Amino acid sequence: MRLYTHSISSNARRVNMVVAALNLDVEIIEINLASEDDRRRLGEVNPNSKIPVLEDNGFVLWESCAIMQYLADKTAQQRGEPDPLYPSDIQVRADINRWMFWACQHFSTSIAVLTWERIWKGFVTGQPADPREEARGCEELAQYASVLDGHLKGRTWLVGEHVTLADYAVAAPLMYRAKAALPVETYPNLLAWFARIEQLPAWQRSADPKAMET
């Protein structure tokens, strides 16, 4: 299997975490989004020109959460039993899927407003952060961080008793918590949960995709 990825991408980080947790044998293709050659190569496997992308024996899959689920299901099939990251019970899976969709649709997109304004915009356009956009990002993030914080009250992980794909999907954009000064300090349950995520070998190994190669 081949994974087109890069350490700066929080969407790719989700998949990197699964690769690290399941100890999968993947060839890492590092894509520098600022390089025209890399963009051309990426465009050949994803018409959206975005990472991550997985190639498995001619089967090409893009969208981080779809790749996460595929890798977990394929591993379960090969090993003859599901991994606790993505159990077989359909209601547990539906619950995990719910948080994965929520991560992409709401939580990540609110954080993306702030990472764009506070980190990427200067590099890409040379323009300073727009305070109105920052305020919009903070307001959106507050809405979703409070949902997450409320759900995590009295819980260790998002779904059931084990860490699952749901935790990986939601946690990934928080990799920019410090660099983008994400305003999450007032959410104690979220912070305690994220501290547990940061202790996971999958989180630590996935920071550098090259370090995941077996």
Residues forming contacts to ligand GSH in the complex (CB under 6 A) are 9-11, 33, 49-52, 63-64, 104
Distance in Å, CB of 49 to ligand GSH, minimum = 5
**What residues contact residue 142 under an 8 Å CB cut-off, 6+ apart?**
183
Q: Which phi-psi region, left, alpha or beta, contains residue 15 (left: φ > 0; alpha: ψ -120 to 50)? A: alpha
Distance in Å, CB of 207 to ligand GSH, minimum = 14
Distance in Å, CB of 89 to ligand GSH, minimum = 25
Distance in Å, CB of 104 to ligand GSH, minimum = 5
C-alpha–C-alpha distance, residues 169 and 151, integer Å: 15
Report the residue number, 29 or 149, with the smaller CB distance to ligand GSH.
29
143, 67, 133, 68: which is closest to 107 by C-alpha?
143
Report the residue number, 49 or 189, with the smaller CB distance to ligand GSH.
49
Report the residue number, 39 or 79, with the smaller CB distance to ligand GSH.
39
8, 10, 196: which is closest to 109 by C-alpha?
10
Report the residue number, 47 or 154, with the smaller CB distance to ligand GSH.
47
Tokens of 47: 């018409």
Distance in Å, CB of 39 to ligand GSH, minimum = 8
CB-count exposure of residue 190 (10 Å: 0-12, 13-18, 19+)? buried
Q: Which residues pair with 61 in a beta bridge?
A: 54
Report the residue number, 63 or 117, with the smaller CB distance to ligand GSH.
63
C-alpha–C-alpha distance, residues 166 and 157, integer Å: 9
